[in-house]
Amino acid sequence: MVTSLFLTLSIFFLFIALFRVYNLGVARLFNSPIVLSTIFFFLIHLMMPLLQWDVSYFRYNVEYDLQPYIFSLLFVALLHAVFIFGLSCFPVDEKPELLHFNLSHTFLKRALQVTTVIFLVGAYYAGKNIIHILTLGYENYITDRISMGVGNGLSLLLAHWTYVSCLLFFFVFYHGKKSFWINKISLVGFIVSLVLAATYYGINSNRNSLFLLIISLLSFSLSFNRKYAGHLTFSQLRKTVSLLFVILSIVFALHTIGKMRSKASTLNTQTTEYGLINSLNGAFGNHENIVWLMENEQDLELGITYLAGFANFIPRSIWPKKPVGAGPRLKNAIYPGSYVVGRKGNSSLTTGLYTELMMNFGRIGALVGSLIFAATLSLMLFKLKRQQSPIIRLIFLFSVVMFSAQFMYAEFLGFFARYIFSIVPFLILYIATRHIKS
């Protein structure tokens, strides 16, 4: 039953994504909020629930009844359908030519200079954090990351500028091919920033950030190239089909392996070391939150987790009673008393867009909230894409990835802080280049 529903919903949503790719080009895989959010919806709320069901691999309960599990899949599919409808309010995917830039030497030179400064700031804080982690000991850090990060919030956020500088170096490199030195220096900057970002995210066990960096680079490279815009060509189709074939083959293989292991094992699958599912579950295993909320009625948060996102910029020393985000609240709902502010050994849970909507507003409110979020996002992206500055249009591309990918699985509190601090380098570059003819 779960498999049949998975196939039905997958075909429906992947058809929506592929239809847009067919009409608008393969670049839409990574720069269309409808397509990219649907890909992540597939990973989080369709693929992972199937794999977990096959091997009974769950974090909160030993097992779940079939009926609420099926209902959770249907409900979250309805939420995403509403989200797609909201994203369609404004024609964000139109005019791909707005992302094709012909930039002057002066503009690229200034952009390279500013990006270098941004990289140095990010490298300083990334290096500082790496030293801090190694000084504490990797095992100590990884088992208590929350308390280890207390008082280091600004340092942790500014370290993400290595990620942003990598994207900006790539932007300069891609458009600086007519200038030998700009092209070569930006290439070196891109490689160095990429290696540093990969090292930093590897050490602090932040695999999702590295994954997002790859998605962002794909979004930038395909969007800048005119070959990948417009009606889908045979060459684009071949590449798209190959990519989808690989993804679906992996899903089918995992599905088959999961069934074989589940049948062959006589042990409790909660203690079975199924490393691959465990790894995927750590990155995209948010759907169990929905299932648990379906089975366990809780008092609604009524927007408090979103308030916590804005309050996150106020130090707790100034506001000791400021609210915590959705992750700690869900953790305490499932395991009462397990998260206490200021205590060592705290761990949280990753929520995601649909989990957090349900926690705050219930099922009906989540449907309304999904529509409001999507329509607001659609308007914001529509305005960004139509600005004259190429840097503001870069913010559009960056925002598409952040809101269509990370927003789907992240806690709002952490997502919002990271997004705001990641936008700052783009704004600095915009101010530095706004009077230069691009």
Can you give the pLDDT at residue 267? 44
Q: Is residue 69 pLDDT above 70, yes or no?
A: yes
Average pLDDT of span 122-139: 86
Task: Measure the CA–CA gap between 129 and 120, rounded to whole angstroms.
Answer: 14
Question: Which pLDDT value is given to residue 208?
Answer: 80
CB neighbours of 105 closer than 8 A, spacing ≥ 6? 178, 179, 182
Say how far apart CA 51 and CA 65 lie, in whole Å. 16
What distance lies between CA 93 and its chain's CA centroid?
A: 19
Confidence (pLDDT) at 246: 61
pLDDT of residue 268: 45
The DSSP secondary-structure symbol of 62 reads S
pTM of the model: 0.85
Q: Letter for the amino acid at 86? A: G
pLDDT of residue 395: 94
**At 129, is the secondary structure helix, strand, or coil?**
helix
User: Highest mean pLDDT range out of 25-39, 283-297, 404-418?
Assistant: 404-418
Q: Report the interhelical angle of 33-42 vs 2-24 (nearest 10°).
A: 160
pLDDT score of 273: 43
For residues 324 and 301, is the Cβ–Cβ distance under 8 A?
no
In the chain, % of residues over pLDDT 70: 84
CA dihedral 116, 117, 118, 124 (to 10 degrees): 110
Backbone angles phi, psi at 276, to 5 degrees: -65, -45
